[in-house]
Amino acid sequence: MPAPLTQIETSAKLPHTADAVIIGAGIIGAFTAYYLAKRGMKVALVEKGRVGAEQSSRNWGWCRQQNRDARELPMATKSLDLWERFAVETGENTGFRRCGLLYLSDSEEELAGWARWRDYARTVGVTTHMLSANEATERGRVTRRRWRGGVFSPSDGIADPANAAPAVARALLKLGGTVHQGCAARGIEIAGGAVSGVVTEKGTIRTQIAILAGGAWASSFCRQIGVRFPQASVRQSILAVASNGNALPDVLYTSGVSLTRRGDGGHTLAISGRGRVDPTPQLLRFSMQFLPMFLRRWRNLAPGGMEGVRSGHEGMSRWRLDRPTPMERMRILDPLVDAGQVKLTYARAVKLIPELDGCAISAAWSGYVDSTPDGVPGIGEIPGIRGFVLAAGFSGHGFGIGPGAGHLVADIVTGDAPIVDPAPYHPNRFANSTWGKVADF
């Protein structure tokens, strides 16, 4: 079974004009469109498949500051507030709540890393508590074993990936925005160095603002208009179990396996960072840029197969705007599940938390995590194409920071004071061949 996802209705008619067209209705595109519509702009959100059907419904649902890279921490903090505010101002349910995140470990090295991060976080006003062996063992009592230590971040939380992007899209509809599913944007039209329209499979929308929130498809889309955006993806496979009525924690991270409560009461089980690298033409193209990233994470990565080529999101072909594109052949990127990883994840989870035994596997799925070379997203207007704004490459962290990222894109477009400093995210850095520091976590 694929990742659970709430379905929403599509707007009937593609508009001829819009103040802004947002390409891709994952969590980033949905929040961007919402914040623009809130400022009175006429926005159209176009999605080749279904709202939230790619990464944004396939993730764990963690909305965390804990262990965030310094470049992303301010956005993570703002996002937690925005998740809360969104529920209050719209009445929509994303499943967000600040349940706190619990990490347990027996590794001195891992604990030392968390302690270093705690010291840094304090300097920017973020509170997180290192746990002694007794405290960690007490908080992790569901595992029925002793731990060397841990960390608890009380102000972090989770939202429900099955509901979040659809809830934001519904809020957008209430504001008068339009949402078009089954509608791939094939390209943008540029006149005099500025965006003049977005060409979709259902017609062209005249606009001066095109925002590309296309997740794992962003790099190949950019290439069509001569923009270099180094992006690579890793295939991660995870599973969900139904509740068996036993009391289980909302969230728990260990390096072996982690679990997260889902909106339906079941849990997502996953191994952090574990994934397969499927070779693709795009991966070869950007391999040098990604070397530091892969070297840093190699312990968790295994070679994949032809899945990336079959999926078509990292091809090198040029698309014609009057013909179906690879995006119309692959409406929803739903790559092959790594059955071995699912089996291993389940076995580790049951070993860690005996109460999970007997919980039936309700779904298993995989998703391509789209990454930049430094693990920090690319957000900002592309130099040389006025009105073309990139918001992609969220490197496995985009769900939790979705509201902040969407807000920042809206700020950039409207010229309002940015919610966080946009400098660390600027896509300018991808034009250089120098590699930024790879994000720590």
The binding site for ligand FAD (CB under 6 A) comprises 23-29, 46-49, 53-56, 58-62, 184-185, 213-217, 221, 236, 238, 327, 367, 369, 392, 394, 396-400
Strand order across the beta sheet in which 20-23 lies: 178-180, 43-46, 20-23, 210-212, 388-392, 378-381
Residues 6+ apart with CB under 8 A from 343: none
Using the minimum distance from each CB to ligand FAD, give the nearer residue, 133 or 315.
315
Which among 418, 420, 415 has a CA at the least distance from the CA of 387? 415
HEC per residue, 369-411: EEECCCCCCEEEECCCCECEEEEECCCCCCCCCHHHHHHHHHH
CA distance 345 to 357: 13
CA distance 82 to 52: 19
Using the minimum distance from each CB to ligand FAD, give the nearer residue, 58 or 71.
58
Residues 282-292 as b or e (16 or more Cβ within 10 Å = b): bbebbeebbeb
CA distance 56 to 161: 6
CB burial class (10 A; 0-12, 13-18, 19+) of residue 203?
Answer: middle
Using the minimum distance from each CB to ligand FAD, give the nearer residue, 238 or 420.
238
Using the minimum distance from each CB to ligand FAD, give the nearer residue, 79 or 143.
79
Using the minimum distance from each CB to ligand FAD, give the nearer residue, 131 or 392.
392
Q: Which amino acid is at 149?
A: G
**H-helix segments, 261-380:** 281-285, 287-297, 307-311, 326-329, 339-352
CA distance 56 to 63: 12
CB 111 within 8 A of CB 71: no
Using the minimum distance from each CB to ligand FAD, give the nearer residue, 25 or 190.
25
Using the minimum distance from each CB to ligand FAD, give the nearer residue, 150 or 400.
400
**Minimum CB–partner distance for residue 190 and ligand FAD (Å):** 16
Q: Which helix (H) or strand (E) holds 159?
A: none
Using the minimum distance from each CB to ligand FAD, give the nearer residue, 56 or 289.
56
Using the minimum distance from each CB to ligand FAD, give the nearer residue, 30 or 137.
30
**Minimum CB–partner distance for residue 431 and ligand FAD (Å):** 21
CA 333 distance to own-chain centroid: 14
